[in-house]
Structure 1
C-alpha cells in the first residue's frame, strides 16, 4: 500500500539518481542525485546554465538522460497514464497556442487526461482568470500566461507540482498570491519543486533547497542549514579611526576586516567600514566608548541565503559580466 500523509494524500517522492545529460560536447547535468519530498516546498537554485531546466525536463520525460534515472512515485513519469493526474508543471508560460482561449486550452488537456470539464472552471477561478477565460491567450500579458500555466499544472489535482521561474512577469500582488499558493499546496501534502532566481522568494517560500552548479549537486538540505553556510554573522562598523578600533577589537579576541559586509568603504559619512566577527554589537560599542572612539555605524549582519548562494556557487558561474568562464 502506498504511504499516505496525515491529510490522506498519497505521499509521492521525486527521486533523481546519477542523472546525466550532454548536448554535443557540453555536459548539462553531471551525475546528479537528490530527493524531493512531499509536504514541503523545495527550492531549486543554481547560476544560469547550471542545468536546472534540463533537470526538470528529464524528470517530466521531455528529455532523455544519457544515464541515470528520474522517477515520480518510483517510476519514470512517462510510465504514468494520464500524466496530469500524477504531476503538473509550468516550465515555459509562452508554450501555448495564442489563438486559443484559456478555456479551450484547458478543456483540450482535460479531455486528453480524463479530467472532468468542471475542473477547467475551478482552476481558472483559482488562478484569477475566470473573467478572461474566453479571451485569446495571444493577448495575455506574461503574468496572465504564468497564471494560466499554473492552472494547467493544477488541472489534474496532482500530488506533484514543478514550477520553473513561475514569478517572472508577476506584479507584487501576483507574487504574494503565488507564494501563498505554494505554501498551501505543500501543506496539503503535495510535493512542490520550485525553481527561481529570486532569493527573496526562496527565503519566503522554500523549506528545503537543492542547489546545483555546472550540472553537479552543491547542496540538498533545509534552507536554514544552507543559509548558515554563508558568511559568518558579524557586525558592520563605521568609524574614522579604523586602525585604532581594529587594534582594540583584535586584542579583545575579535576579527576585523575592511569592507567585507554589504555596502561600500568608506561609507557616506566618510568613515571607514569594518566587518567584525567574534564579538556582539553591544560589546563592540562598549569597547569603542571605553577607548573614546566614535562610531558612525553599528549594524548586525546575519548570514543570508544570498550570501551562501554567492559563496558556494562562485566556482560554478558560467557567465560573468565582460567574460565567459
Structure 2
C-alpha cells in the first residue's frame, strides 16, 4: 500500500506537488493521470525517495522507502526505460541489481523469461529498441517479487503484442494482491488496464475513484442515431442548440440532447428514426472535461 499525506514539493516558487493526500490500495491497477506538468513523475520520485518532500510524507506499507532494507524486495519501479548502462548486457544489468538486494541469480533468468528477453539476455542494452528497454525495466521491477509496483509510461515503445502483454501482466499482479500504480498519458490503455483512477492537476488531487465513476463524470454522453433523412435531422438538432457529427457509416452522433428529447424532436419534425442508442462518454472525454482548467501547456497557446 502507498500512502501520501499532505505531500508537497516546491522548487523555488514552483509547487510541483501540493498537499497531496491519497491511498493506493492493493488488489487494483490504479491509473495515475494528469496533464503534462501535473506532478505525476515528481510524485513517483517522492514515493521512491529520489526527491525529498518539502513537507508531508510518502509511505510504502507504513514506512518511508529509504528506511526499507533491500528496497527491490518491497517496491519495484520503472521510471525511465532509457536510464540504463548501454554497455552492459541485459543479464549483467539485472545481476548487478540482484546482487545489491541479495536476490538469487536464478531469479534473473526467471524475469528475463517472463518479459520475453531470454533470447537476447547476452546482448548489450545499447542496441535494444525502446520496447525492449521497457521490457527490461519491467523485469527489473519484478526482480525482487515486491508487493508494491510503480510504472511511469510503461506502454511507450511497445508494439500491440507488447501492450497487450503488459496490460495482462498488470492485471495479474493486482489479482495477486499487489499494489500496482501506473502513470500513463494513453487514455485508451488506461481504460482497458486500470480499474481505479487517481487524477491530479497542478500538483493537486482532482479525483480518486473507480474507472466507472470517473467516466460517468463527463457531461457529454452521446446519442447515436440513424435516419433516412440525416440532413433534416442535422438541421433540427442544430436549431435546438445541440451538436451533431456524421460518421462514415451514415450514423449521426448527437451531443447535448437526451435520447428522449432527440426522439421527441424527430417526431415533431416528422423525421423517421431507424436507430437511437445512448453511448457513455469515453475516458478521454471525461479526463478532458475534468482537467480543462488544470492544463499548463496547450497547443496553439501563445501566452
Quick check: TM above 0.5?
yes
After TM superposition, give the deviation of residue 149 of structure 1 in Å.
0.1
Aligned length, in residue pairs:
300
For 1:246 and 1:109, the matched residues in 2 are separated by 62
Preserved CA contact (<8 Å) 1:20 1:66: yes
Change in CA separation of 1:19 and 1:324 when aligned onto 2, cut-off 3 Å:
farther
Mapping 1:1-325, distance limit 5 Å: 13-237=1-225, 239-242=230-233, 245-246=236-237, 256-259=240-243, 263=245, 274-280=254-260, 284=262, 288=266, 291-293=269-271, 300-323=278-301
Query: Unmatched 5+ residue regions in structure 2?
Result: none
Q: CA RMSD in A?
A: 2.6
C-alpha distance in structure 1 between counterparts of 2:153 and 2:76, whole Å: 15
| Matches of 2:2 and 2:73, distance apart in 1 | 15
Deviation at 1:288, TM superposition (A): 2.7
5+ residue gaps, structure 1, are: 1-12, 251-255
Q: 1:298 to 1:86 in 2, by over 3 A?
A: same
TM-score by length of 2: 0.91
**1:252-276, Cα deviation, whole Å (9 max, x unpaired):** xxxx5332x6x47xx7799997425
- Matched-pair contact (CA < 8 Å) for 2:242–2:257: no
Shift of 1:300: 3.1
Counterpart position of 1:6:
none
Deviations 1:215-236 (A, max 9, x none): 1000001111011001243414
- Summarize the Cα distance change of 1:286–1:31 in structure 2 as closer, same or farther, 3 Å threshold: closer
